[in-house]
Structure 1
């Protein structure tokens, strides 16, 4: 257990905090909690890379924490009718697929593709989409659909990288 992994675990702890605030009518404050979670994600990655503290546990838990937080956000926005159910289903399928796929292959000893620029960009775009939704910008849902499209493109890139990485690992 190192500092980056503790920061990752703190993101799991922030999920119920976000949900309690959101469902008690503190939607904008819950968005701040989401931003804090995002900052811990940036911080844990920075510390892990610069201090060479990357661990197999961190490689697995970091994206899991991100996906779990995003699923909590999706569900809260859906339940509160701030996003259409079709968008929630598309986002849920993508994130659940990434979680299940990563776990399935991780526990079978396959190499994991670390976060790349496209994945990080997608996360930033989702944060902006949530900001626009929470603050009721007129274009928020249209922008959200754009981000959903980018997120599926990013997923296909990860799948392609995963296949290449594990094909190369088999050949060695």
Structure 2
């Protein structure tokens, strides 16, 4: 267990903590938990690369922690009627599709492209939308729709990279 993997594990622990705070109407505390999750996500990636502590476990847990937090937050915001069901459906379709597709390629022994800046930017857009949604700002839903559209664009880019990487093999 290295520091980056510990930080990723902490992000997983943040999920039920967020649910408790949000569910009790403590939106400021919920906002803080999401903000801390973002900071630990940035920190674990930076530390892993800087200290050469990138591990197989970390490369699997990190996106899992991101997706679990994202889906949890989206679902809680939906249950509070802060985002439309269409946005939730679009996010779930894209994320479940990406997860299942990655699993299929992984178990078939295919090479997976490394994370790129578009994927990181997608995460930034999603987190910005989530933080604005928790604060219940009017522009938040528009930012969320932009993040969703951008995430589908990045998915198509990723699929192209996946095909390219595996054609060379």
TM class by shorter chain equals over 0.9
5+ residue gaps, structure 2, are: none
Q: How is 1:11-160 mapped onto 2 (pairs within 5 angstroms)?
A: 11-160=11-160
Q: CA deviation at 1:58?
A: 1.4
TM-score of the superposition, structure 2-length normalised? 0.93
Q: Distance in 1 between matches of 2:39 and 2:103?
A: 24
**TM-score, normalised relative to structure 1:** 0.91
**Gaps (5+ residues) in structure 1?**
none
What is the alpha-carbon distance in structure 2 between the residues aligned to residue 18 and residue 77 of structure 1?
12
Deviations, residues 80-100 of structure 1 (Å, cap 9, x unaligned): 111000001101111222222
Number of matched residues? 169
* Greater alpha carbon shift after TM alignment, 72-81 vs 51-60: 51-60
Q: Are the aligned partners of 1:7 and 1:40 in contact in 2 as well (CA < 8 Å)? A: yes
- Separation in 1, partners of 2:54, 2:88: 32
Contact 2:18 2:30 in 1 (8 A): yes
Contact map agreement 1:118 1:154 (CA 8 A) in 2: yes
Q: How much is the aligned-residue C-alpha RMSD, in angstroms?
A: 1.4
